Structure 1
């Protein structure tokens, strides 16, 4: 049988975000689908991609999509990439596809599907779960599905890295090894996103490596790409840069590696090659980086290669909490890297996490004071999310600490605090409303300081690579959007503050009643 593939990037539930805030949030580029699609096409399978960030899917649109794929002697395979916060929508979409056409084969992949394959199988609408890196596994699965016969009759027992049902029993085949040589993979399928590239501020993104040797307790990415650091060949990376610059007219290219500077043997020759081919004169580059990887030699190379933005994960201002989260670097190292980078004239951003285990009010305010003292152009303060299968999640479960999971995991989103109060995790001894209020205050106050306002009006701003404002945003449609965001955030700030005050008043009343009794 012929195979027709439709890959879908599901949307995040509207319950987790406010439209005013979403308007200035980056439309994230679904890199994982592009990697899978490129490998499928290279192996002869036609692929279509639908991104729900751009156009939600309903029954009528699903029928239209299926009619466009349906041919004689053809099996339609629908693949849905699955994040924790989108998992509920993934199962909803799979159910709609099955109701409209029961013969459609559904498969899920991505981080959430990889760590909780049973969850998908238990819905009854997911036929296959692709665990881990999906390129090789998906092609082998499609080869099996090209056989004639009912889905339930096809033998997939020899395919590593998949989960499925045999009758009513779930089957989890052995895990697949990580892809050793990433250069054997075909180029990224930018052409499948080309018609919508103006909607993606991250369209011009590349990966030069996968994996990170560190073991931060909150990181879920290693469930997919592992701890072993693997690189793409220099020529392949330069080919991607050349394509983005010469075909798509990119002016900024963002590296989305798990840890781009984990190996000097990888990054130093790559930076030299960028300069040798004069890409640095035509395009600027951005990348997240660890502070402990940065030294003067690397910084000089980054500057020479025209890296215009480097983002560091400072996470906290407490050295003790850095040890708790097993970051593998110190606050002092990250602070030093931030100061060094700013001194070179490179725009510097950082990301922070509040609500860490054992964290106190004093720790949060120490972090705020530190961040406000640093030469940073952007900062994003988040509340900790204990993603499933992370060391953090496992530890909390073992210790019996409360983790709140709403249906569809909808509260497992960094945006959730801006709209709702049911946080997944709050450290013992911390008031959740105070945690939300402090995090909101830190985000707002950073940009409402005189130096923050000055940077808003003079530089492009990428708050933790999430919020994006171009230069002279105040002369465009962004002005109205920002005013709406500011009004909404102030409303939310006051609402949460009111809840915290009410809780304290009620608590004081309860204590007085108990004393009288």
Structure 2
């Protein structure tokens, strides 16, 4: 089976050269799950590493079982690229089956089916649905059409959406992530997922269309086993937990920290997490400190109480500042992630957000533009306002659009609230990010390759390499010009923007309201017997494997945590 992670462009745009490449986690997890249940030949192609073209797309399916089954994960910002790849394979291999999954097609399954790029859409959490679907397709016949959690077009071209499939109750039934499939030197392998889901209802977050309001976590023993693989086999010294939210359950956090210390892993590795301010409890922080957790990130989003309330964050600005103070008390580095462009937000509101986070004096702050993702309440609000801007293929639904391109890039933002122009919103996002990064302490840390600086990392001895010096100079010129243009008076910037040819907006596709879904959790069905894993999938490197791969030559400088 072939799995594909599509990408319009390398993550980070003009900054991509110096931003660690994240592994396509969902494809890795499903690959491990299918291997557990007997699927022998699985290949993963990530366009962050290698672009699929008309010249090379056939090589990726050489040696795979026929007829081909191709799975493509679809994020909103990469939807158009996913659709192009799906059509490319369907035209070349008419008897193949293209399956799409992920948050975008879960919200808008009909889009991928009607445009001819997919045969089947898997909605929600994909492991168990994909297991059933793969084996049913290989057996032949039409039994696959009864599988829960899928959407397809029947012989009369009518849309069929079967009931949702259950969520996996025990996450330990999912094998450990198959890091061995992703050993390319560009990847930052220092991550693991210890929990899934989030029980909160922020209006801008699309996570709950995949898992509802459930929250599940792996056992302490399972996470320790995972950490040992990363530390002992791959020599990772900084691990980030990719949990949607880390500290919902205090007992679980303390047990995990105790397990890390008991295994001696706190002496070999440092850890970073992202969680909510109201989940930072003082009684878990000493345990996290003992276990060598260094960095705590929070999605604060806004420094304005009114906006936080309207976004249904169920947290106050004061709670965030109290959480920052508490983290500092115990010596943790703190990162804050902010959003500009909420409905009803004014320039004064954005200035207030900057004043609040600047006064908090944390190590790392990033400002993104709001994206009204399909399936979220804020998407519906943007539609009602008539201010939703969808470019062909959704390629402008990128939360870093303002800070990874020129300020005068012709790709329009997906949403600009009433009372502000696009230039004014871009100007504030660019200015605040660069005001932060152009502080001497940050510049010095980046130039000296301090691993603690957010999401930018320079290669070793960059100053001795003319190519790197030239690339950095060019990037600095673009960023510097962005900063200068962001200081223009609004009437000048607005006049320049009026002269630019903007991307054309398209009508929003039909939304089947997947945000209203409710899930059941269940154990694996009887009869789902697992096979022994292939040797490549086994965890023989957990304790000092002689074949453990050194990080030398593997861009070991990509470890991430935020600065103090």
Provide TM-score, normalisation by structure 1: 0.89
1:37 to 25, 31, 44: 31
Instruction: State the Cα distance separating 1:479 from its structure 2 match.
Output: 5.5
1:235 to 221, 224, 242: 221
Q: Select between 495-504 and 183-192 the one with higher mean Cα deviation.
A: 495-504
Q: Select between 277-286 and 467-476 the one with higher mean Cα deviation.
A: 467-476
Q: What are the superposed Cα offsets for residues 127-174 of structure 1, whole Å, 9 maximum, x if unpaired? A: 1111000000001001111124xxxx5232320001111112221111
- Structure 1: state its 5+ residue gaps: 508-517
2:476 matches 1:486: yes
Q: Which residue of structure 2 lines up, in the alignment, with residue 223 of structure 1?
A: 209
Q: Select between 328-337 and 343-352 the one with higher mean Cα deviation.
A: 343-352
Aligned-partner Cα distance in 2 for 1:434–1:472: 39
Larger RCO: 1 or 2 (CA < 8 Å, sep 6+) = 2
Aligned-partner Cα distance in 1 for 2:77–2:453: 22
2:132 to 123, 137, 140: 140
Please list, as runs of the form range in 1=range in 2, the aligned pairs for 1:342-353 lying within 5 A after superposition: 342-353=328-339
Q: Which residue of structure 2 lines up, in the alignment, with residue 11 of structure 1?
A: 7
Aligned-partner Cα distance in 1 for 2:111–2:63: 30
Whether the 8 Å contact between 2:74 and 2:105 is mirrored in structure 1 is yes
Whether the 8 Å contact between 1:338 and 1:375 is mirrored in structure 2 is no
Return closer, same or farther for 1:336/1:64 CA change in 2, 3 Å cut-off.
Answer: same
Please list, as runs of the form range in 1=range in 2, the aligned pairs for 1:66-85 lying within 5 A after superposition: 66-70=61-65, 74-85=66-77
Secondary structure of 1:254's match?
strand
Instruction: State the Cα distance separating 1:265 from its structure 2 match.
Output: 2.2
Instruction: State the Cα distance separating 1:223 from its structure 2 match.
Output: 1.4
Q: Which residue of structure 2 lines up, in the alignment, with residue 427 of structure 1?
A: 417
Aligned-partner Cα distance in 2 for 1:462–1:173: 46
Return closer, same or farther for 1:147/1:358 CA change in 2, 3 Å cut-off.
Answer: same
Q: Which residue of structure 2 lines up, in the alignment, with residue 514 of structure 1?
A: none
Return closer, same or farther for 1:479/1:216 CA change in 2, 3 Å cut-off.
Answer: farther
Q: Which residue of structure 1 lines up, in the alignment, with residue 392 of structure 2?
A: 407
Whether the 8 Å contact between 1:342 and 1:375 is mirrored in structure 2 is no
Q: Which residue of structure 2 lines up, in the alignment, with residue 47 of structure 1?
A: 42
Aligned-partner Cα distance in 1 for 2:265–2:54: 46
Q: What are the superposed Cα offsets for residues 293-318 of structure 1, whole Å, 9 maximum, x if unpaired? A: 11322121111111122111111111
Q: Which residue of structure 1 lines up, in the alignment, with residue 108 of structure 2?
A: 116
Secondary structure of 2:68's match?
strand
Aligned-partner Cα distance in 2 for 1:39–1:385: 31
Instruction: State the Cα distance separating 1:60 from its structure 2 match.
Output: 2.7
Q: Select between 334-343 and 433-442 the one with higher mean Cα deviation.
A: 334-343
Aligned-partner Cα distance in 2 for 1:474–1:237: 39
2:178 matches 1:189: yes
Aligned-partner Cα distance in 2 for 1:76–1:478: 42
Whether the 8 Å contact between 1:80 and 1:109 is mirrored in structure 2 is yes
Q: Which residue of structure 2 lines up, in the alignment, with residue 200 of structure 1?
A: 187
Instruction: State the Cα distance separating 1:498 from its structure 2 match.
Output: 5.9
2:347 to 357, 361, 382: 361
Q: What are the superposed Cα offsets for residues 208-266 of structure 1, whole Å, 9 maximum, x if unpaired? A: 11111111111112211321111111111111111111111111111000111011121
- Pick the structure with more helix per residue: 1
Aligned-partner Cα distance in 1 for 2:248–2:464: 40
Aligned-partner Cα distance in 1 for 2:23–2:176: 16
Whether the 8 Å contact between 2:445 and 2:453 is mirrored in structure 1 is no
Please list, as runs of the form range in 1=range in 2, the aligned pairs for 1:407-486 lying within 5 A after superposition: 407-417=392-402, 418-419=404-405, 420=409, 421-456=411-446, 459-463=450-454, 466-468=455-457, 480-486=470-476
Instruction: State the Cα distance separating 1:500 from its structure 2 match.
Output: 4.1
Q: Which residue of structure 2 lines up, in the alignment, with residue 328 of structure 1?
A: 314
Aligned-partner Cα distance in 2 for 1:473–1:356: 39
Provide TM-score, normalisation by structure 2: 0.82
Q: Select between 498-507 and 439-448 the one with higher mean Cα deviation.
A: 498-507
Q: What are the superposed Cα offsets for residues 440-465 of structure 1, whole Å, 9 maximum, x if unpaired? A: 000000122344445545642443xx
Secondary structure of 1:416's match?
coil
Whether the 8 Å contact between 1:280 and 1:304 is mirrored in structure 2 is yes
2:145 to 137, 151, 157: 157
Return closer, same or farther for 1:383/1:471 CA change in 2, 3 Å cut-off.
Answer: farther
Return closer, same or farther for 1:246/1:365 CA change in 2, 3 Å cut-off.
Answer: same
Secondary structure of 2:52's match?
coil
Whether the 8 Å contact between 2:3 and 2:70 is mirrored in structure 1 is yes
Secondary structure of 2:3's match?
strand
Aligned-partner Cα distance in 1 for 2:204–2:27: 24
Aligned-partner Cα distance in 2 for 1:441–1:503: 14
Whether the 8 Å contact between 1:319 and 1:331 is mirrored in structure 2 is yes
Please list, as runs of the form range in 1=range in 2, the aligned pairs for 1:251-270 lying within 5 A after superposition: 251-270=237-256
- Structure 2: state its 5+ residue gaps: 498-564
Whether the 8 Å contact between 2:446 and 2:453 is mirrored in structure 1 is no
Instruction: State the Cα distance separating 1:485 from its structure 2 match.
Output: 2.2
Return closer, same or farther for 1:353/1:478 CA change in 2, 3 Å cut-off.
Answer: farther
Aligned-partner Cα distance in 2 for 1:306–1:332: 27
Aligned-partner Cα distance in 1 for 2:159–2:225: 42
Whether the 8 Å contact between 2:382 and 2:415 is mirrored in structure 1 is no
Q: What are the superposed Cα offsets for residues 23-60 of structure 1, whole Å, 9 maximum, x if unpaired? A: 12331221111110000000111211111110001123
1:97 to 79, 89, 99: 89
Aligned-partner Cα distance in 1 for 2:469–2:313: 38
Q: Select between 492-501 and 127-136 the one with higher mean Cα deviation.
A: 492-501
1:316 to 298, 302, 310: 302
What is the total number of aligned residue pairs between the two structures? 488
Q: What are the superposed Cα offsets for residues 314-373 of structure 1, whole Å, 9 maximum, x if unpaired? A: 111111111011111111111122222234332221110001111111111111122222
